[in-house]
Structure 1
């Protein structure tokens, strides 16, 4: 009797082997994904290997060594820090002040900043904030309270000047210092309000006096203009009278000269012609003979009428 063939042997995989294969695949996938990372815009990456900073990378997709490398993202966009502090003015008046500053990490020096100071928050707490507070107190102490209120821009400029000077050695760019809030004692604020009211009243009174002065000057100008007009009119009349008198005088003079010239010529003509003398006498005779030849008190009389009788 022939032997029956052996049935086909079914190979069954062991459960542990399957689990091991799956785990290996999973780990490989995890390692593959953990080897790549991205840096967003506005940031740089600080690559650390076993905790030691190695290099700086820019925004984009990058590769790292799994399990060995870690990446810290460092913001290089403008940040704003606000410090709330108490200070004293030049006359030792206490003030509460909120001061802010905008600052930016210099991209090319971000790695040095991280390696020396750790991160942005540590840099702010250890370096920037203390210097900002010191600069604000220093600047406030140089001005009186009234000057701070009236010339806030000048005070801000002084704070910015001091903080920029003290931060010049660090790899950051500073700008836009602002006084967010300035708290002064209530009594001082009341005194400022009273003083401002007095200034406003004084300004109003000065304006009123200036207006009165202008009105008075306008009246003076009007009176002077009227006086000048009357004087000009009087001068014109006087000039006309003088001119007329001068003309009349000249006419009389010319007429007199003409008459004198005529008399002179007449006299010359009479002296040269006896007949003309007789003719003139005849023209002047009224047809009556003279009754006397001598005065009334004379003894000898020539009575022509008696002789005719």
Structure 2
């Protein structure tokens, strides 16, 4: 073997040794865990930081244990046999302490295999317990039941549910038209009821005013009688007279009753 060939072999050996040396280290970032496999079997699950492994023997799979998001359309039937569709978004994460069990049982591709099917199952089960109208009126109750059911379903696979967002429930066009018609009828009935109450109140107000006016007239009449009758009326008229005599010949002077001596 000539010198150049020996130099080439030496260089390859050094490069291989360097690769082996560098291959003994690996880094796990914050928010990750590392599943270490040795000959295909789980040896350990490591937290973030710098770690050692056996090159060509150990295989490292890094797993993100931070929040993951899955969005899935869901179709279901209500208690009163109305078809409804919605979009469900789920925030979840792997249970870091149970990664080995999750990997052995279902693997790490959980969104398609675990999360989406569980969303479909839970939404169908919950929606079936409500009428279509209740879905619109009791959204918080519906969401609470979906959260409870989905949390339990995912927990069986070492997945931790964080939050659930549900878009508006969508119904058939016929059902939407029926709901709109019902709302219109309720609004018209409410308006008619309010108009009736207004009319009744106005009528009561008029009766009260008439009664007040009648009472005032009665009081005035009683006062007149108490003050002397006709003389009292003339006195009040004199108080209002402007002092002008009538311009028509033969006219009577107001309130002056001339009697012959």
TM-score by length of 1: 0.63
Matches for 1:156-167 after TM superposition, within 5 Å = 156-167=143-154
Cα pair distance change 1:235/1:148, threshold 3 Å: farther
**Could you say which structure has the higher helix fraction?**
1
Structure 1 position 210 matched with structure 2 position 197: yes
Distance 2:211 2:94 in 1: 74
Alignment match of 1:35 (pick from 24, 28, 38)? 24
Alignment match of 2:62 (pick from 63, 70, 73)? 73
Structure 1 position 149 matched with structure 2 position 140: no
Shift of 1:207: 2.5
Shift of 1:188: 1.3
Shift of 1:229: 7.2
Distance 1:125 1:73 in 2: 19
Distance 1:237 1:171 in 2: 97
Matches for 1:280-295 after TM superposition, within 5 Å = none
Shift of 1:55: 1.1
Equivalent residues of 1:160, 1:175 under 8 A apart: no
Equivalent residues of 1:99, 1:181 under 8 A apart: no
Matches for 1:186-201 after TM superposition, within 5 Å = 186-201=173-188
Root-mean-square deviation over aligned CA pairs: 3.0
Distance 1:222 1:42 in 2: 79
Alignment match of 1:58 (pick from 25, 42, 47)? 47
Deviations 1:253-279 (A, max 9, x none): xxxxxxxxxxxxxxxxxxxxxxxxxxx
Deviations 1:52-103 (A, max 9, x none): 1111111222222111111111111122222223221112222233223221
**Which entry has the higher C-alpha Rg, 1 or 2?**
1
- Higher mean C-alpha displacement, 181-190 vs 69-78: 181-190
Matches for 1:239-254 after TM superposition, within 5 Å = none
SS in 2 for 1:118: coil
**Runs of 5+ in structure 2 lacking a partner?**
227-261
Alignment match of 2:94 (pick from 105, 114, 119)? 105
Cα pair distance change 1:132/1:220, threshold 3 Å: same
Distance 1:143 1:195 in 2: 19
Distance 2:225 2:26 in 1: 110
Distance 2:113 2:77 in 1: 24
Distance 2:140 2:215 in 1: 55
